Copies of this chain bind each other. A is one copy, B any other.
Amino acid sequence: MNKEQVVEAIILAKHARQLSWQNIADELEMGCVWVTSACLGMNSMPENVADKLCQLLELPAGSQAALTAYPTKQWQRDVPQDPLVYRLYEVVGVYGDTLKEVIQEQFGDGIMSAIDFSMDVAKQTDPKGDRVVITMNGKFLPYKAW
């Protein structure tokens, strides 16, 4: 069983049980964004989390191994097309240099890690239309001189 197959099995089981990603994350006691990314094959699960998920969704044999395997992360297009994902890409384009200025002003020369990293999504209700709040949290890595 490979990553693609376990992703498909999870989506079918989630659908059949009428579970949301949030429900699954609550059961696994992990963050919803991380759980979703691991279920979509973009992160590897620690063994005990994979075990819980296999039980929760009654996934077929071989699923635990596929969930704990280290994925090759890839995406389809250099410039994403789905409007929701494109808007995030546009934010990186429009505000990329700004973030470089602001982060390096506060932290010195270096970057925010995308590996030692977490992310969260929340809803902020608003009478003029609800708002999506995305929070990224990454370790600052200073450049090293040698």
Using a CB–CB cutoff of 8 Å, the interface residues on chain A facing chain B are 20-22, 30-34, 36-38, 40, 42-46, 49, 70, 72-119, 121, 123-124, 126, 128-146
Cβ–Cβ contact B97 & A40, under 8 A: yes
Q: Considering only CB atoms, which chain B residue lies closest to A68 in the complex?
A: B109
Q: Considering only CB atoms, which chain B residue lies closest to A49 in the complex?
A: B145
How far, in whole Å, are A44 and B75 apart by their CA atoms in the complex?
Answer: 23
Cβ–Cβ contact A100 & B112, under 8 A: no
Which B residues are in CB contact (< 8 Å) with A105? 20-22
Report the copy number of this chain in the oligomer: 10
Q: Looking at the assembled complex, report how far the CB atom of A7 sits from the nearest CB atom of chain B, in whole angstroms.
A: 10
How far, in whole Å, are A79 and B90 apart by their CA atoms in the complex?
Answer: 12
How far, in whole Å, are A53 and B104 apart by their CA atoms in the complex?
Answer: 22
Cβ–Cβ contact B145 & A30, under 8 A: yes
Interface pairs (12), CB distance under 8 Å: A21-B101, A33-B102, A37-B98, A73-B94, A83-B114, A85-B100, A88-B96, A91-B119, A106-B123, A116-B142, A132-B136, A133-B137
How far, in whole Å, are A31 and B133 apart by their CA atoms in the complex?
Answer: 16
